[in-house]
Amino acid sequence: MLLSSILNEIGLSLEGNDKEINGIHTLSEAGPSQLSFFNNDKYKDELSYTKAGAVLIEEKYAYLLPQDTIAIITNEPYLKLALASKLFAYNLTSKTTKPTVGDGCDMDESVIFGSNVTIGDGVTILGGCYIGDNVVIGSNTLLHPNATIYHHTLIGERCIIHSGAVIGSDGFGFAHTRTGEHVKIYQNGNVIIEDDVEIGANSTIDRAVFGTTFVRTGTKIDNLVQIGHNCDIGAYSLLAAQVGMSGSTVLGRNVVMGGQSASAGHLKIGDFATIAGKSGVTKTLEGGKTYAGFPAVEHNVWLRSQAKLASLLKKQK
3-class SS letters over the chain: CEHHHHHHHCCCCCCCCCCECCEECCCCCCCCCEEEECCCHHHHHHHHHCCCCEEEECHHHHHHCCCCCEEEECCCHHHHHHHHHHHHCCCCCCCCCCCEECCCCEECCCCEECCCCEECCCCEECCCCEECCCCEECCCCEECCCCEECCCCEECCCCEECCCCEEEECCCCEEECCCCCEEECCCCCEEEECCCCEECCCCEEECCCCCEEEECCCCEECCCCEECCCCEECCCCEECCCCEECCCCEECCCCEECCCCEECCCCEECCCCEECCCCEECCCECCCCEEECCCCEEHHHHHHHHHHHHHHHHHHC
**Catalytic residue flag (residue 299):** no
Active-site residue identified among 25, 151, 229, 299: 229
> Which active-site residues does the annotation give?
229
